[in-house]
Amino acid sequence: MPLSHNPISRRGFMRLGAAATLAGAAATALAGCGGAGNDGGKVLRYGCANPKASLDLQTNTSNEIGVAESICEPLIRFNEDLDMEPVLLTKMPDISADGLTYTFELKEKLPTHDGGNLTADDVKYTFTRMFLPATKNPSTNVYDTIVGAKDVMEGKTTELAGLTVQDDRHFTMQLSEVTAVFLPMLTEFYALIYPRKACEAAGDKWGTGTDFVGTGPFKLTAESATGLTLETFADYHDGAAKVDGIDVVYVDDPNTLVMNFKAGQLDLVNLAPTLYDQYVDDEAVAGSIVDYTPASTRFVNLNLHEDAFKDARVRQALSLAIDRDELCETVLQGASAPCTQFCAPGEEGHDDTLETLPHDVEKAKQLLAEAGAAGLSFDFPVRSRDEQVATALQEYWRAVGVTANINVIDDAMWIDQRAAGSLPCTLITWTTLCWVGAEHMRSFFYASKASQRSSFYDSPTFDELVDKAEATMDEGQRTDLTLQADNQLVNVDFGTIPVDWPQTPYLKDADFSGVYRVYDFKFTNKLA
């Protein structure tokens, strides 16, 4: 049965949950505090796995998302009611009647951590850098509808023609086509704004060590092999945070995280779902368990360039072999829901009436025989966080005559191999940050993106449906087109195998109140 301890609403925990599940590990969107810092002040001690990756989210999507978002900010964001609101802007941008021109006005003073002020030139620099071939940005989708973006990406120019700066505070973005999800996409961590001077000065070191500055409520002051130190930015444009800082403590082992929390050494940690039953009745932590269900999908990512997966009947058989209800109830201990489609509950394009994807062992065997794939064997490299689910899938596939050779590899190696397109089959948890199903799928399975994700799914029908969905401003039509695209991906092409929608449990100190944004928190009397 599902987790039941202190559920947190989507709106109340959105940023923390998104960061957590996107990376498939501990969340890093940061909040609240219980511990005392070295100076006696209020400091949040947050425990998570070492991402072994840069904070520069134009070059990677690490599980340091929340840390990066605490240092640098996007132009706009979703608030707790899931409405968009300005962050660096005086108001939401004006949009022309044809939906192609967006007009922006920055706040009058936007102090940066290095003593400067953010300007419209910094915004243009950030978006131009996003598209430069040297950046190797894996997530330019949707933003590349800005006029001139593709020319920059192709190395034809370094001038982003569609972003025009009028003065320090005013600029416009011109799109080449109507893009319904463009504004929500500006809320994502891919679109954090970087100060040009600091970024250029750091060069290749940007995002490493302490070479990462922004306008956010916290500034990075120290980095080591064991974690990060963030201090409250006194000049923050939206009012200083109600804590003195954040200590990010790297602890890779999930059990050790819990032990450190029990010992009072950490204020917030991710509780691995597989440990839930072990600690749910532990008096020392049971009252500290909170849970959140983000719009995340865990799926088997198949490299469709591999001979083993080129036949759709094989892919369908692998899906049919999985008993998702049993998996979620037993292995995942209720901390997840079985997939009925790719798009998760809560996002546009999810259909609550659909039933769990079918489980049919005999049909799976029949399809494998028809495809000449009886006795199929393939390598199944996964990260340690996914080993338990991978082992369960291995057994389901063994029951239909398929051998999956599990190899647990280091996170950094996994990232490198995925980027090289050399992962034959793996497990991935992918999270929507803008709550739009078409974009959720596009960001991974659109043909040009799939080639970067070690998937290589290439369906003109799927791409066309996603394009149409993102080009219509009618929500009903967009939802219908998204459902069609989802069905094409999951039930027609079997381009991927959705498994479950993870629920994310955490342990938080009782004195830690609120999780949305550090500087908006309401603290208990003990910390007030």
Q: What is the dihedral of CA 453, 437, 9, 291, to 10 degrees?
A: -30
Structure tokens at 449: 């993106």
Structure tokens at 162: 């569609």
Residue 397 has pLDDT above 50, yes or no: yes
More confident residue, 343 or 511: 343
- Considering the chain, what is the average pLDDT of its residues? 85
**Does one domain contain both 336 and 234?**
no
The pLDDT tens digits for 422-480 are 999 999 999 876 778 998 999 899 998 898 889 999 999 999 999 999 888 888 999 99
Q: Reduce the DSSP state of residue 524 to 3 states and report it.
A: coil
Structure confidence at residue 1 (pLDDT): 38
**Does one domain contain both 381 and 497?**
yes
> Is 451 a domain residue?
yes
Structure confidence at residue 25 (pLDDT): 25
- Cα–Cα distance between 98 and 67 in angstroms, integer? 37
Structure confidence at residue 287 as a pLDDT band (50, 70, 90)? confident
Question: Vertex 318, ends 312 and 320: CA angle to 5°?
Answer: 100
The pLDDT tens digits for 258-274 are 999 999 999 888 888 77
**Does one domain contain both 132 and 278?**
no
Q: Which letter does DSSP use for residue 491 in this model?
A: I
Closest of 18, 167, 11 to residue 103, by C-alpha: 167
Per the listing, tokens 């996964």 go with: 382
**Does one domain contain both 343 and 393?**
yes
State which of 171, 200, 229 marks the end of a domain.
200
**Does one domain contain both 48 and 151?**
no
Each as own residue / partner, the long-range contacts of residues 154-161 (CB below 8 Å, 24 or more positions apart, any chain) are: 158/128, 158/132, 159/128, 160/124, 160/127, 160/128, 160/131
User: From the DSSP assignment, how many helices (H) and strands (E) are in the chain?
Assistant: 17, 20
State which of 200, 232, 247 marks the end of a domain.
200
Structure confidence at residue 213 (pLDDT): 96
Q: Reduce the DSSP state of residue 480 to 3 states and report it.
A: helix
Q: Reduce the DSSP state of residue 271 to 3 states and report it.
A: coil
Closest of 117, 109, 77 to residue 517, by C-alpha: 77
State which of 143, 168, 200 marks the end of a domain.
200
Residue 236 has pLDDT above 90, yes or no: yes
**Does one domain contain both 400 and 496?**
yes
Structure confidence at residue 50 as a pLDDT band (50, 70, 90)? confident
User: What is the 3-class SS of 365-423, one letter each residue?
Assistant: HHHHHHCCCCCCEEEEEECHHHHHHHHHHHHHHHCCCCEEEEEECCHHHHHHHHHCCCC
The predicted model scores a pTM of 0.73
H helices of 89-235, where? 120-131, 149-153, 182-185, 196-202
- Contact of 206 with 199, CB cutoff 8 Å: yes
CA torsion through residues 163, 166, 167, 169, sign: negative
| Residue 198 amino acid letter | A
Residue 312 has pLDDT above 90, yes or no: yes
Residue 34 has pLDDT above 80, yes or no: no
- Cα–Cα distance between 296 and 488 in angstroms, integer? 19
**Does one domain contain both 452 and 312?**
yes
**Does one domain contain both 166 and 278?**
no
* Strand partners for 250: 48
**Does one domain contain both 350 and 386?**
yes
- Cα–Cα distance between 265 and 64 in angstroms, integer? 20
Structure confidence at residue 293 (pLDDT): 64
Structure confidence at residue 472 (pLDDT): 87
- Contact of 378 with 416, CB cutoff 8 Å: no
> Is 302 a domain residue?
yes
> Is 1 a domain residue?
no
What is the domain-level CATH number for residue 221? 3.40.190.10
Give rounded-to-5 percent helix, strand, coil for the chain.
35, 20, 45
- Cα–Cα distance between 231 and 219 in angstroms, integer? 5
**Does one domain contain both 269 and 365?**
no
**Does one domain contain both 41 and 100?**
no
What is the domain-level CATH number for residue 189? 3.90.76.10
> Is 170 a domain residue?
yes
User: What is the pLDDT averaged over residues 315-330?
Assistant: 96
Structure confidence at residue 39 (pLDDT): 41
Q: What percentage of the chain carries pLDDT values higher than 70?
A: 86
Domain span holding position 423: 296-502
What is the domain-level CATH number for residue 478? 3.10.105.10
Structure confidence at residue 242 (pLDDT): 76
> Is 49 a domain residue?
yes
- Cα–Cα distance between 371 and 96 in angstroms, integer? 53
> Is 400 a domain residue?
yes
Angle (deg, nearest 10), helices 312-320 and 361-370 = 160
- Cα–Cα distance between 65 and 138 in angstroms, integer? 15
Q: For residue 268, what are the contacts with CB-CB under 8 A and spacing of at least 6?
A: 31, 32, 44, 45, 46, 47, 506, 507, 508, 509, 512
**Does one domain contain both 493 and 444?**
yes
The pLDDT tens digits for 78-128 are 776 768 899 999 999 999 999 999 999 999 999 999 999 999 999 999 999
Structure confidence at residue 511 (pLDDT): 67
- Contact of 497 with 321, CB cutoff 8 Å: no
> Is 265 a domain residue?
yes
| Residue 79 amino acid letter | N
- Cα–Cα distance between 69 and 467 in angstroms, integer? 29
> Is 209 a domain residue?
no
Q: Reduce the DSSP state of residue 53 to 3 states and report it.
A: coil
- Cα–Cα distance between 436 and 348 in angstroms, integer? 5
- Contact of 109 with 118, CB cutoff 8 Å: no
Q: How many domains does the chain have?
A: 3
- Cα–Cα distance between 494 and 364 in angstroms, integer? 13
